[in-house]
Chain A
């Protein structure tokens, strides 16, 4: 008998299902379980979780949010004290706005923000007064996400799926075999397409601005490059840096090390974008924006003398001229530029880029007296009489010796002097086997310069670079070391030099031993060596590139004491003023060797000097539009 047919028993046929498992999910006793464990799917987009240790406060989530639900909340930390790679801000999410689209997660550069499988958040009304109830509820649904839902983490952004472009656009370099043959510039610069592609990666978070010593408006000028308005871009650069083309080549780019994208990918090539903008802007546009303040402020009759035409001197001169001062720079070499011209090899910074930059500064009205060494061609006392104020920006013109045994041999040389000679075009001794002592950028410069000369003379490169620091600790830029290795230079890091081996007044090699650590626990320089593990690098020439020293020989001893020199650098009072009333200092002698620090110093010294003369004042300067 079929029960399904219409019969007396038909209504009872449902009893057959009585022991079947029901389809109903008796929430909240149980939950659906179709993904291996009860609850939402494995990549559900529920409440946010934010790893506050990793969050850098860049605000990209807030910018990208389509419902304006994310606000960056100040954490109340002091900007100067926290880690420079982040801003003192953290996102707060309004669940009265959020639509759980996960745009914020997909565009989080550090990957700290993710979403969880938790999604239940309900609240009854509790307040009496309707308006307070409204405000209370909006606050109740506004949550600062932290690592609360960490265990239920689900939707998170993977590097290859994220919306951000973590890969730099390719920069064309000459091949090692080709570039080692001459002093031609290695980096060829961005093309328009490459620059636009690179510029559009910028998140405009502004973390870089705070880290840059000169506080250049980096997001703004990258935006101008993206808008293909190079004139505006260069205009913004000249607000804080009158040497953008130089910095676009040889800056130590601290900005790139803190770039928001650097946490999970390659940082924006800020340096090369800057170089692209300055190299490609039209000459007349460059002249117009560089000299826009030339006649805005009336001349105030004050005469300023600047000793040294390095980056600090030039920057100070540029901004002082813009403020109405009459500025004269004294330079002992036949051309202006200081270390930029006579220290840095031309494969990194070619002369024409430097000349273009200096010509803008001269067009501003700065007088540069070449071949005029203070103390020799121009007496310090006379200079002091002539000028209303003086800025010493002499930098570090001398190299330092390791002071190990037997360095007095003529074939043991100092790197700075050698680089000077090469750049001046003088004949330099080149040997077949050379050892360079040092792990900084100067060591790289001299090693790679000598490699080019060796290749030219003998057709092969045989240079060993040895340093106290291990490979990771070496202060030189990574790309410098990598490029040097490609050009055939051998690196022997982690070794301390003991003595130069000399037989019959001829250099035969360098004796070294293992260096265990360079810095002590407090970060102070005190190398620990193991003298049992010895080694000898055979060579007929040793070059020392372990540091640079200043030259104050034009001052009297009494005046040198007033400068308050401590371990080679100056301890200055606030305002870049020295013990002598009208003598200011700027550049390497204050902050150590670094071009962008020098530029920043020059700018600040100029401003401080203006304050010293006239007090705090607002000048009617033409500012670049930053928006």
Chain B
């Protein structure tokens, strides 16, 4: 296949109403679709020259109560990028793993799971990647308040740090 228009035509006739491939910028195309069609579409894309998954992005649409997952693909043959976008509900966010299509997707999904709390069934390792001992809301969610967190977690007032002699006094008091 030489012509990108041919590819678009093929895509649109294959998926028909489920998803549409549209041009966004000069070298960027996008496919907006749903969670159920995701694996099929990515599989199709990988077959037709989009071999490279550059990254996976998660966007928090707080007011819509949805997360958006964006799979950033690249075709070396046509020198174009393609965004595959799906929206998932914010309350119970999950999406099928694409780990079997692209091995590197494993860490991307692990990271998204850590920072947004999106679950990827089938991903072999969703343990904590960057954060240390994290028990709070996933920190890149829009409803997480980093200023208040920083104040309570790291400042003198927030940690309730006391001068040493006060502690001594207390322990002595208890002993007697």
Q: Point out residues on A near B: beta carbons under 8 Å.
A: 129-132, 134-135
Contacts and interface: CB of A to CB of B under 8 A. Distances in A.
Interface stretch (B90-98, B101-109, B156-164): B156-164
A475 B119 CA distance: 74
B155 to A, nearest CB: 10
B9 to A, nearest CB: 45
B156 A132 contact: no
B156 A130 contact: no
A135 B161 CA distance: 12
Contacts of A132: 163
A134 B156 CA distance: 9
Interface string B135-161: 000000000000000000000100001
Contact of B164 (A130, A134, A135): A130
B17 to A, nearest CB: 40
Contacts of A129: 163-165
A580 B161 CA distance: 65
12 contacts: A129-B163, A129-B164, A129-B165, A130-B164, A131-B156, A131-B161, A131-B162, A131-B163, A131-B164, A132-B163, A134-B156, A135-B156
Nearest to A135: B156
A535 B161 CA distance: 84
Given A131-B156, A131-B161, A134-B156, 9 more contacts: A129-B163, A129-B164, A129-B165, A130-B164, A131-B162, A131-B163, A131-B164, A132-B163, A135-B156
A132 B156 CA distance: 11
A21 B156 CA distance: 52
A134 B161 CA distance: 11
A378 B81 CA distance: 87
Contact size range, B: under 10
Nearest to A129: B163
Interface of B: 156, 161-165
Query: Which residue, of A129, A131, A132, A134, has the highest number of chain B Cβ atoms within 10 A?
Result: A131
A134 B164 CA distance: 13
Contacts of A131: 156, 161-164
Nearest to A138: B156
Contacts of B161: 131
A185 B165 CA distance: 76
B3 to A, nearest CB: 46
A25 to B, nearest CB: 38
B91 to A, nearest CB: 31
A135 B155 CA distance: 11
A57 to B, nearest CB: 26
Contacts of B156: 131, 134-135
A449 to B, nearest CB: 57
A129 B162 CA distance: 11
Contacts of A134: 156
A132 B163 CA distance: 8
A62 B165 CA distance: 37
Contacts of B162: 131
B136 to A, nearest CB: 22
A376 B66 CA distance: 75
B77 to A, nearest CB: 44
A131 B165 CA distance: 11
B19 to A, nearest CB: 38
B145 to A, nearest CB: 15
A134 B154 CA distance: 13
Contacts of A130: 164
A134 to B, nearest CB: 7
Nearest to B161: A131
Nearest to B166: A131
A129 B168 CA distance: 14
B163 to A, nearest CB: 5
Nearest to B163: A131
Contacts of A135: 156
A130 B164 CA distance: 8
B56 to A, nearest CB: 30
A130 B162 CA distance: 10
B43 to A, nearest CB: 45
Nearest to B162: A131
Nearest to B165: A129
A45 B154 CA distance: 29
A37 to B, nearest CB: 42
B115 to A, nearest CB: 23
Contacts of B165: 129
A399 B164 CA distance: 79
Contacts of B163: 129, 131-132
A131 B161 CA distance: 8
B10 to A, nearest CB: 48
A135 B164 CA distance: 14
A131 B163 CA distance: 6
A134 B163 CA distance: 11
Which 10 pairs, one residue from A and one from B, show the smallest C-beta to C-beta distance?
Answer: A131-B163, A129-B163, A131-B161, A129-B164, A134-B156, A132-B163, A131-B156, A131-B164, A130-B164, A131-B162
A130 B166 CA distance: 13
Nearest to A68: B147
B44 to A, nearest CB: 45
A507 B164 CA distance: 95
Nearest to A131: B163
Nearest to A130: B164
A576 B161 CA distance: 56
A624 B163 CA distance: 47
A136 to B, nearest CB: 13
A132 B162 CA distance: 10
Nearest to B164: A129
A134 B162 CA distance: 12
A281 B164 CA distance: 63
A462 B164 CA distance: 88
Contacts of B164: 129-131
B147 to A, nearest CB: 9
A130 to B, nearest CB: 7
Nearest to B147: A68
A371 B124 CA distance: 92
A135 B163 CA distance: 11
B54 to A, nearest CB: 31
